Structure 1
C-alpha cells in the first residue's frame, strides 16, 4: 500500500498545482479588471466567464474522455485502439472549437445580452466574449493534450504546462492593461494566449518522442463520440454547470441587488473557482491511476485510490473554509478597488455562506470523476448533473425567493450536502461491484 500512496500523492500533488495554475487564468483577469475598470468591469467579466466555463468544460470532457479510453485500452493491451482515441479527441475538439469561433465572430453582442448585460456594461462584455471565443481552439486543444500527456505517465510536464500558461497570463494581463491600456480586450487577449504558452511547453513531450500514443487517422464514428463524451461527461458537467449557475445566479442577483450584486458574486465565484480547481486536480490526478487499475481488474487498488482521493478532498475542503473565514475581509478588499461598501458587505456574506459547500463538494466531484474512470458514465452523469445543474438551480430559485441574497448564497452548500447524502444512500447498495467504492 505504501507504493500505492506514493504514486497517488505524486499524481495528486502535481495535478492540484497544475489546476491551481489553470484557475488563475480567470482569477488574474478578475484582479486586474476590478482594479483597472471598477465595479462595471467586474460585473461585465462575471457575465462573460460563463462562456469561458463552457469552452473549458468542452475541452475537459473530450480530453479526459479520450485519455481515459487511452489508459483503459492500453492497460488491456489494445495499443491501436489506445492511439485511435487521440485522433478521435482531436477531431471532436476541433469541431467544437469551430462552433465556438463562429459564435464569437457573429454573435458576441447577442450572447452578451442573453447573459444579462445591460447597456452600461454591454460593450465590455461583448469584447471579452468575442476574444475568448476566437481563442477556443487553443483552449480545447490544450485540455486534450494536457490529459493525454498526464495519462501517458508525465504528470509533471502537464503541471508545468498549466503553471507556465497561468504565469504568462498574469504577466500579459499587466502589460496589456496597464502600459498598453487595452482594457477589457487586453484581459481577454492575455487569457487567450495562456493556452498557447502551455501548448508550447507540452510540445517537448512529442519532440523528445516520449509519447506512447500516435496519430492514427481514421473515420470517427458516432459510437466513438458517444463513448468519449460519456467517459468525460462528469468533467464537462462540473465546468458547464458553473456556467449555468453563473448565468442563473447573475439574472437572479440583478433583480435583487443590481450590478453591484453581480460584482459581489464575481468575487465569490472566482475565489470558489480556485477552490474547485483543487478538487478537480484531486479528481483528475486519481483518474489515470483508477482507470489503469480498473483496466487490469485490480478491485482493491481501484477502491483504495478512490478512498485516498475522497479523504484528500474532504481535508482540503475543510482547510479552505477555515482560510476563508479567517481572511474574509482581506479577500474582498483585493477585488474592491473603489471601496464600495455595499459590494464589501454582499461579498463578505457570500463568501461565508457559499464556502460552507466545500465540506461536501470535493467528495462529490471526486466521486463523479471516479465513476467516469471506471466506465460508469450514467452514474457519473447523475451525480455531476444534480450537484452542478438541477439541484442548485432549484435551490437557488426557491431559497432566493424566500430569503433573498442569503438564500442564493446558501443554495450551493445545500445542494452539495443533498448530493453527498444521495451518494452515501445509493452508493452502499452494491458493495461488491468494482465500480462501487463503498
Structure 2
C-alpha cells in the first residue's frame, strides 16, 4: 500500500510538472499561430527539433546522473553521491557551451539544413538561434529537476515546472501582442521560463534540504561513462521526437509545401503534450524504481512498473477519445487564418497519428524501467529502433505508397513494432534474472 501511495504521489506531481513543461512550446505554437499565421507555424515547426536536442541532452545527463545518485543514496554511499552530482554538473557545463557556440556561429547553416525557404528563413533562424543561446539554462534546469526529484522533493519539482510554464505563457502574450516582437518574442519567453524554474528550486538549497553538493575531485571517466550510458535512452527518446519532426517536415514539404508543414506543426506540438503525460509518469517512477532496486526490494520494483503500465493504458484511451472527438476544434484553435486545406490536413492527421498513444506510452515506461534498474541496454536498443531504424524507413516508404495517409500511419506502425519488441526484451530479461538468481 505504501508503494502505491508513493507511486501516486510521484506520478501525479511529475505528470502535472511535465504538462507544464510541454506548454513551453505549445504556448509558442498558439501565440505564433494567432500572431504570425501559417508561415509562423511552419517556421516554428522546422525549428522545434533543436529544442528536442537541447532538452534530450539535459535529460540524458540529468536522468543518468540522478538514477546513479538514487541508487548510491539507497546504499548510503555519501561520497559517491557527491561525486556523481559533480560529474553530471561538469558534463552539463561542457555540453551547453557546445550548443551555445553552435547558436552563435552556425544558425544560418542549420536553418538551411532544416529546409526553411526564403518565406520563413528569417523567422526559423531567429527561433532556433535564441533556443541555442539559452541552452545553458535549459540544460541546467533539466539536471537540477532530476536531482531534486530523486532527493525526495517531487512537489517542488512540479511547482518549479508549472511556474516556468505560466511565466512563458504570460510573456508570450506580452512580447508577441503588446510589444509586437514577433517570433523573437515567442522564443525569448521560452528562454526565460527555465530561469524561474531554477529560482523556485533554489529554495531547496537555501533551506539546505539537499543531500548532494559539488566536490573537487579528479574526473573519473568510468563514472562519467556510467552516467552517460544510463541516460542515453532518455536522450534518444527526446531526440526521436526531433528526428521524427525533421523527417516528416522534409516529406511534407515535398507533398504539400509550407501549408502541410504548418498543419503538421499542430499535430507535432499536441503530440509533445501527450508524450509529456507518459514522460511525467516515467520520470515520476524513476526515483522509486532506482531506490527500490538499490535496496533490493524487487517486489516493489515490479509493482511500480505495473502501476505505470495500467496508468498509461487508461490515459491513452482518454487521450485518443478526446483527440478523435475534438480534432476539428483542436485544429481550428491554431488555424487563425481559417485555411480549409490546413484544417483538413490537420484533422485527418490527428485521427491517424494519435492511434500510436498506448504503444508510445508503453515503450517510454519500459525504457525507464530498464535504465532505473541499471539495465540500460534493452532501453537503448528500443530507443534506437523507435527513433531511427524503424520510423525513418517507414515514413519514407509508407508516404511513397499512400501519400499523407501513409505518413500519418508510419508513427503508430513504428510504436507498435517497438512495443512488440519491448515485450520480447522484457520476457528475455526476466528469464535471465531467474537464471541468475537460481545459480
What TM-score, normalized to structure 2?
0.97
Instruction: Within 5 Å, give how 1:303-318 maps onto structure 2.
Output: 303-318=302-317
Written as runs of structure 1 = structure 2, the 5 A alignment for 1:189-200 is 189-200=188-199
User: Could you tell me whether the CA contact under 8 Å between 1:371 and 1:435 is conserved in 2?
Assistant: no
| Aligned alpha-carbon RMSD (Å) | 1.2
> How much does 1:3 deviate?
1.0
Check conservation: 1:376, 1:435, Cα contact below 8 A: no
Distance 1:189 1:229 in 2: 30
Q: Structure 1: how far apart are the matches of 2:433 and 2:311? A: 21
1:394 is the counterpart of 2:393: yes
Q: Deviations over 1:394-422 (max 9, x none)?
A: 21011011111111100111011111111
- Return the offset for 1:434: 5.3
Give yes or no for the alignment of 1:11 onto 2:10: yes
Per-residue deviation, residues 285-325 of structure 1 (Å, max 9, x unmatched): 00000000111111111111111111111111111001101
**C-alpha contact (below 8 Å) 1:374/1:435 kept by paired residues:** no
Does the Cα contact within 8 Å between 1:43 and 1:259 map onto a contact in 2?
A: yes
Residue of structure 1 equivalent to 2:325: 326
Question: Structure 1, residues 60-90: CA drift from partner, whole Å, max 9, x if none?
Answer: 1100111001000111121110111111111
Following the alignment from structure 1 to structure 2, what is the Cα–Cα distance between the partners of residues 435 and 56?
37
> Partner residue of 1:249?
248
Match of 2:171 in 1: 172
TM-score normalised by L of structure 1: 0.98
| Residue of structure 2 equivalent to 1:373 | 372
Separation (CA, whole Å) in 2 of partners of 1:89 and 1:434: 30
Q: Write the distance in 2 (CA, Å) between the matches of 1:415 and 1:16.
A: 25
SS at match of 2:216: coil
Give, in whole Å, the separation in 2 of the partners of 1:434 and 1:294. Answer: 13
Q: Deviations over 1:219-250 (max 9, x none)?
A: 22322222111111121111111111111110
Which region of structure 1 is more displaced relative to structure 2, 191-200 or 69-78? 69-78
For 2:15 and 2:345, locate their aligned partners in 1 and report how far apart those are by CA, in whole Å. 30
**3-state SS of the aligned residue for 2:106?**
helix
Deviation of the 1:114 alpha carbon: 0.5
Return 324-333 or 229-238, whichever deviates more.
229-238
Give the distance between the partners of 2:208 and 2:358, measured in 1 at CA: 42
Q: How far 1:435 moved relative to its partner?
A: 10
* CA distance in 2: counterparts of 1:175 and 1:430, whole angstroms: 52
Q: Which residue matches 2:53?
A: 54
Alpha-carbon distance, 1:284 to partner: 0.5
1:131-280 matches, within 5 Å, as 131-280=130-279
Structure 2 residues without counterparts, runs of 5 or longer: none
Would you say the 8 A contact 1:112–1:122 is kept in 2? yes
Q: CA deviation at 1:137?
A: 0.3
Shifted more, 16-25 versus 75-84: the winner is: 75-84
Does the Cα contact within 8 Å between 2:378 and 2:425 map onto a contact in 1? no
Shift of 1:432: 5.0
Structure 1: which 5+ residue stretches go unaligned?
A: none
Q: Which residue of 1 aligns with 2:349?
A: 350
Task: Quote the residue 1:411 is aligned against.
Answer: 410
Partners of 1:430 and 1:200 in 2: CA distance: 42
Q: Deviations over 1:350-398 (max 9, x none)?
A: 1000000002111110000110111111111011111222211121011
- Is the 1:44–1:121 contact (alpha carbons within 8 Å) kept by the matching residues of 2? yes
Structure-2 separation of matches of 1:91 and 1:104: 20
